[in-house]
Chain A
Amino acid sequence: MGGSRAGLHTLVGAYVMDAVPDADRAAFERHLTGCEPCREEVRGLREATARLGAAVAIEPRPQLRDQTLSAARRLRQLPPLVAQRRDPRMARRPARWTRLSGAVRQSWLARLAATAAVILAVVVVGLSLHLTSMQHRLSSDEQGSHAIAAVLGASDAKMMTAKVRTGGMATVVMSHRARELVFTASKLSVLPQSRAYELWLMGPAGDKPVGMLAPAHGGMAGPMVVRGLVHGDRLVLTVEPVGGSPQPTTSPIVVIGLGI
């Protein structure tokens, strides 16, 4: 462990120059979250690389200035990320990750198997009608199940729950190493037909829609696998028009910091 941590730490130079391949970067960013001196070094080295950039400045064509300024005027800005602190109905103490115990893992896998059984039953009933599309559905569901099982089975899987402001609980099981998580929610409030729950990743670089939560099955919504998590991302749930929105249009009803 000591050797690999030291090995990771030397990546800091390559990291601030965006010279680290994706797989290494995930490992390094995980290392960063638990290492304040490393984050301090990243800050300092970033200032140095910024100067490398400043040293090769090129004056842009004058037209670009007006183009950029007027494009900005037409572009809606993202709100700051504050929901967790501002709303007193949300969890008062910071949520904590808990290690996924064997028992919890088993119960999740059992729940997953139950979900798969429901899907399978639906498939069998509809089989004669839409054979091809159902097969598609089955295979993508199967892939989903594999992905879920992979996260739940990860040796570093941790679980976090958070209250949803409008009712219900959100649960995240995450593998920091794989940068993947599984999201489920239980007892979510029933929405009008025109509205649906949409899941987002919000980070320093913007908001990314993850997907619409299928209407709850016996009080459970999801499970949904979220991949490609990057440093600073938070998982956010909002209520949107039923077809989904490219940007959140209502305030978050739950915000979960992912600690990456």
Chain B
Amino acid sequence: MPDVPADDAAPGRAEPARPAAADGGLERAIRAVARGDERAFTTVYDQVAAAVLGTARRVLRDPAQSEEVMQEVLLEVWRTAARFDPASGSAFSWIMMLAHRRAVDRVRTEQRAADRQLRAARASIEYDEVIDAVESRLEHERVRRCLGSLTDLQRESVTLAYYGGYSYPEVARLLGVAVGTVKTRMRDGLIRLRDCLGVE
């Protein structure tokens, strides 16, 4: 299932299973994009656009705004590909970082107080929605299973922050726990998620 390019896989060493988007092919494509390679950019688009759009949609809810964010993020990748630094993480995590940050920035700048209350009211259903959406594909299934291995408080802290776009003080308020507790649960939850997913 994982499509591991021959020149990246060390002979005789089993590569851990990773999603296609996180393998060396994307890094290579980004390097080519940095040199202005338009075909490589279509490769990048095809590998990440759905994940970027899905993330934006989770945070923003609004389909039109989510599409805007997706396009902005892809154009940012095109524009700044030469400044991608492999030492600070995989190309996929770099792009997803740009996507999530941009979606959250939009929420924080545009959200009016009334809106926020509305979102708070909806927050209780976030987790169920995540589970609804993560079906069928293997990747979805693995993430769902790994989210399930977190404690309730860890999982709620992580999903409210990542999918809900809430800051940790807001998450603490929504969950009715101390901010210090939420900070710790977010970190512990992500560490457990990382270990469960087997990412380095």
Chain A positions near chain B (C-beta within 8 angstroms):
7, 10-14, 16-21, 39, 43-61, 64-65, 67-69, 71-73, 75-81, 203-206
17 CB-based A-B contacts, threshold 8 Å: A10-B184, A11-B168, A48-B193, A48-B194, A49-B96, A50-B92, A50-B96, A54-B143, A55-B143, A56-B51, A58-B53, A58-B54, A68-B75, A72-B75, A77-B80, A78-B83, A204-B84
Chain A positions within 8 Å of B190 at CB level:
13, 16-17, 45, 48-49
- Inter-chain contact count A-B, CB under 8 Å? 214
Chain A positions within 8 Å of B85 at CB level:
204
Chain B positions near chain A (C-beta within 8 angstroms):
19, 21-22, 34, 36, 38, 41-42, 45-46, 49-55, 57-58, 67, 70-71, 74-76, 78-85, 88-90, 92-93, 96-101, 104, 130, 133-134, 139-140, 142-144, 158, 161-163, 165-169, 171, 180, 182-191, 193-194, 197, 199-200
A59 to B81, CA, bound (A): 23
Chain A positions within 8 Å of B182 at CB level:
14
What are the nearest 6 A-B pairs in CB distance?
A13-B187, A13-B186, A55-B143, A50-B96, A48-B194, A53-B55
A68 to B49, CA, bound (A): 10
Chain A positions within 8 Å of B67 at CB level:
60-61, 64
Secondary structure call for the B interface:
helix
Residue among A21, A64, A204 making CB contact with B71, cutoff 8 Å: A64
Which residue of B has the minimal Cβ distance to A21? B167
Chain B positions within 8 Å of A11 at CB level:
168, 183, 187
Chain B positions within 8 Å of A18 at CB level:
100-101, 104, 161, 165
Which residue of A has the minimal Cβ distance to B38? A73
Which residue of A has the minimal Cβ distance to B33? A77
Assess whether A72 is in contact with B193, with CB atoms less than 8 Å apart: no
Residue among B76, B88, B189 making CB contact with A13, cutoff 8 Å: B189
Assess whether B199 is in contact with A72, with CB atoms less than 8 Å apart: no
A77 to B35, CA, bound (A): 9
Which residue of B has the minimal Cβ distance to A16? B190
Closest Cβ of chain B to A181, distance in Å, is: 21
Chain A positions within 8 Å of B180 at CB level:
7, 10
Interface centre among A21, A53, A73 (most CB of B within 10 A): A53
Assess whether A64 is in contact with B49, with CB atoms less than 8 Å apart: yes
A19-B161, A53-B51, A56-B130 known; A44+B199 contact, CB < 8 A: yes
Residue among A19, A69, A75, A205 making CB contact with B167, cutoff 8 Å: A19
Closest Cβ of chain A to B45, distance in Å, is: 6
Closest Cβ of chain A to B157, distance in Å, is: 8
A47-B194, A47-B200, A55-B144 known; A20+B93 contact, CB < 8 A: no
